Structure 1
């Protein structure tokens, strides 16, 4: 059995305290590119089932809209089993342009001088991808709770610490500043410890999106895509569009029937 042939089981439970009428968007389900052997989704406020509307964006991110019409404890429960590899959608010329531009949390324009100083002599895209990921991994310290939700790549570089989204944002920003299209993917990550939603970077290399994880905390070949976008603004697992809902707890699980080795010198795509 090859790496793409494994069975992966994932789940997430998000608990919120809704204090006033709120419109909520969840990005928790596995992406539309997967054929799920089983899947369940249940949303309730104080045990009362809530109506859910599913939407899908251009990259196959599945968004679930919930209109919380009254205060109470809201629970969002999701689980899925994925068999085999994904069937990724196409990438347009516009996508490649979009992912070369600066974005909210990946300020590649501000990091141009840093990218030039560190990676200016590297012309091969695969070598550049490996060099940037390695540089980020060795220049940052992984410290839980060390960053704010509003921190971008510049602040991460200055503080030299962060969590997975900070590593991914800095990787994406430096790649874009070096002329290589890059984007962020939110994923389920079997093997991750402690378990949580995870974020990795992808770069456009030789006609495919190739994945790097500067944290090296989980094998890339086991990842399951949830959401794809410019940065965390496009891939957050929860967005409160209106009203108020406070996060109470998040519980995530992700397991694979076997975990692959991860050779960081290999080009890997999320499947």
Structure 2
């Protein structure tokens, strides 16, 4: 299946700023074409690419004050390869993190999912989050955590992913956060899902059930949303004046019932 993805960001920089972007397809994604441009009037910037241990590609630059236009487009051909996971990674993804406080939901998880393991556990956690959280764009905050979402029962894709991850870690299953492009997502935006490590492989879980998992394109992977922000900056200030994300596939993705095991393509 061939997929095309685009992202457009207009950033108003109030002063010179150290800018870090995570909007490109991950290193493991097979690309047949790709272009990232960073322009400010007549000036074009070249970013330094940094690849982390999970294959996420970060692009860093120091930009001057003014409007910076970020444009990205890529064509994805074929399926991504699964990199070998180290023992250190699985340990990292078992620990509580900023937005996935598995220690705080430990008692609930152990009580609710007692006796479940493997793919049966993954399906049960995904179903619980899908039915107990309401998708509510604009109402959750960027500082909301898994605990907040469980209390309010509302959120967006990042919040669904955080709850899934926290509950799975509380059940001793390594789980991580994935930012991605999602063809057929409605409303279209950057998307977030969870991955769980079972039987030596990573399996993707999307409790929002808003886009078929078979067409997702990985951007960044980390402990939670703090590791996968599409824009972060230091030493200055900026405003996101405009953002447009799009993703589409040349053919329909296979039907997804969201309960069967699936790996990120």
Report the TM range for the smaller structure's normalisation: over 0.9
Q: CA deviation at 1:134?
A: 0.5
Cα-Cα RMSD: 0.9
Q: CA deviation at 1:237?
A: 0.6
Secondary structure of 1:20's counterpart equals coil
Instruction: Report runs of 4+ in structure 1 exceeding 2 Å deviation.
Output: none
Aligned to 1:128: 121
Structure-2 separation of matches of 1:93 and 1:35: 26
Structure-2 separation of matches of 1:107 and 1:132: 16
Q: Is the 8 Å Cα contact of residues 7 and 244 (structure 2) preserved in structure 1? A: yes
Structure-2 separation of matches of 1:95 and 1:11: 30
Matched residue count? 264
Aligned to 2:110: 116
Structure-2 separation of matches of 1:170 and 1:184: 11
Aligned to 2:97: 103
Secondary structure of 2:37's counterpart equals strand
Aligned to 1:177: 170
- Map 1:1-271 to 2 at 5 A: 6-68=1-63, 70-122=64-116, 124-260=117-253, 261-271=255-265
Secondary structure of 2:14's counterpart equals strand
Unaligned runs of 5+ in 2: none
Structure-2 separation of matches of 1:233 and 1:104: 8
- State the Cα deviation string for residues 182-204 of structure 1 (Å, max 9, x = none): 00000000010111000000000
Q: Is the 8 Å Cα contact of residues 191 and 259 (structure 1) preserved in structure 2? A: no
Q: CA deviation at 1:113?
A: 1.1
Q: CA deviation at 1:263?
A: 2.4
Secondary structure of 2:15's counterpart equals strand
The alignment's TM-score, normalised by the length of structure 1, stands at 0.95
Secondary structure of 1:233's counterpart equals helix
Secondary structure of 2:4's counterpart equals strand
Structure-2 separation of matches of 1:14 and 1:262: 31
Structure-2 separation of matches of 1:133 and 1:47: 48
